[in-house]
Amino acid sequence: MDATEFPLLEGLPLPSRDEMERAFLRGDASYDGVFYTAVRTTGIFCRPSCSAKKPKVDNIEFFGTAKAVLFAGYRACLKCRPLDGGDDHPPWLAPLMTRIESAPGDRIREADLKTMGIDPARVRRYFASRYGLTFQAYCRAKRLAQALDSIKHGRTVDDAVFDAGYQSHSGFREAFAKTFGTTPGDAAQSGAVHLGWIDTPLGPMIAGASDEGIVLLEFTDRRMLEAQLATVRRRFGTALVPAEHGHLTRLRSELEAYFAGTLTTFTCPVIAPGTPFEERVWEQLLRIPYGETRSYQDVAVALGNRAAVRAVGRANGLNRIAIVIPCHRVVNKSGELGGYGGGLWRKRRLLHLEKSMRQSGTLPDQAGLGRRHHHG
């Protein structure tokens, strides 16, 4: 999903010029799709992550949409290709993922990548930056996830060994136990958190789902992401593996509708265990109506403890399911935005989207209070 595909996002305010300058000068790919940088002296516009030599900041201006920058007379950069998705969706990715999904038991080595016309070094960089895994670790986790699913659905361990592409039972059992913390024979009683990646107009997100519901939704560039993944692993006592799940499919659909302005209340089940206080705070977040905000003090008062403002702020920051549990709707008492793990510019745009829809008077029927979630 690109921001330009969602008309409701076109009127959103851009981040501050200082913030955009910093993002452009350091080539921050997390801002791709948020704004475009146009260079007056060359007449060319780029995505923030463009690796071309950086011009003087006095010679650049920023635009929120490709339509606006083209209308201003600028030409698209041939290096970063801001109009066709560039490295966000490199052309070699689709056939590679199709091969992985169609035959997860196959081992794809560097020689295989070269035969497909794909540079192995580029594959390594892409998977490390997007998934936080090496390419081989990603493929191994996919194989083991398939094996776990096969065993849970009644297939034998021998079948799982073959399906997962392992040459020996011992190698399979060792890899399986290391990933899932259990033996293949006990796998029918074990589970895993399935991880998927979701493109949104505000940048890619990583989502996690158990069989009970969504357990994680974070922007991939959040500084606390590694800690949040560790918390999910500890809370659920299971491995995290890249694999599709029905809850992830449903979440993708609902997020797309949310950004399009046709959904105001998420219905996908949410599982968010925490401390008793954290769970009470997250429950209050779900009670904040779409298009409205509450202060940290408002939340503390609703919990019956006016002095718990700092604790509320901390619990708000530890929310692991962004947007669905709307921590972006909590602001300072003064009206200033306060903090946000995904970046204040994202918080600003989320609030602007919701407020604009609410003021338009065209909210869908499901507008109103968020539904309750399960703590697990």
Element (H, E) at 368: none
Distance (Å, rounded) from C-alpha 328 to C-alpha 186?
Answer: 41
pLDDT at 188 over 60: no
The region of weakest confidence among 150-154, 290-294, 344-348, 364-368 is 364-368
- Token code pair at residue 165: 């592409």
Instruction: Read off the pLDDT of residues 75-113 as tens digits, 9 standing for 90 and up.
Output: 999 888 887 644 456 788 888 888 887 776 678 889 999
pLDDT at 372 over 60: no
Distance (Å, rounded) from C-alpha 20 to C-alpha 351?
Answer: 19
| Phi, psi at 355, each rounded to 5° | -65, -40
Return the CATH number of 93-190, one of 1.10.10.60, 3.40.50.11710, 3.30.365.10, 3.40.630.40: 1.10.10.60
Sorted by sequence, the CB contacts under 8 Å of residue 372 that are 6+ apart come out as 283, 286
Sorted by sequence, the CB contacts under 8 Å of residue 260 that are 6+ apart come out as 6, 8
Task: Estimate to the nearest angstrom the gap between the alpha carbon of 347 and the chain centroid.
Answer: 15
Count CA atoms closer than 13 A to 23's CA, side-chain side.
Answer: 25
Four-point Cα dihedral 197, 199, 200, 206, nearest 10: 20
Kindly indicate whether the domain formed by 3-83 is annotated with CATH number 3.40.10.10.
Answer: yes
- Token code pair at residue 209: 């789902």
The region of weakest confidence among 101-105, 246-250, 341-345 is 101-105
Known catalytic membership, residue 327: yes
Higher pLDDT, 367 or 35: 35
Give me the count of residues in the chain: 376
Question: What is residue 154's predicted lDDT score, i.e. its pLDDT?
Answer: 64
Only one residue has tokens 């463009």, namely: 50
pTM metric for this prediction: 0.70
- Residues of the chain within CATH 3.40.10.10 domain(s) are 3-83
Question: What is residue 368's predicted lDDT score, i.e. its pLDDT?
Answer: 41
Question: What is residue 370's predicted lDDT score, i.e. its pLDDT?
Answer: 42
- Residues of the chain within CATH 1.10.10.10 domain(s) are 198-360
The residue among 230, 233, 232, 228 whose CA lies nearest residue 218 is 228
- The catalytically annotated residue of 46, 50, 268, 327 is 327
Distance (Å, rounded) from C-alpha 109 to C-alpha 121?
Answer: 12
Q: How many separate helices (H) and strands (E) can be counted in the chain?
A: 14, 10
**Mean pLDDT along residues 15-43:** 87
- Residues of the chain within CATH 1.10.10.60 domain(s) are 93-190
Only one residue has tokens 């500890």, namely: 234
- For the beta sheet containing 214-219, the strands, ordered from the edge strand earlier in sequence to the opposite edge, are 214-219, 205-209, 192-198, 239-242
Kindly indicate whether the domain formed by 198-360 is annotated with CATH number 3.40.190.10.
Answer: no
Q: Is the Cβ–Cβ distance between 232 and 208 less than 8 Å?
A: yes
Q: Is the Cβ–Cβ distance between 376 and 273 less than 8 Å?
A: yes
- Token code pair at residue 134: 């090496």
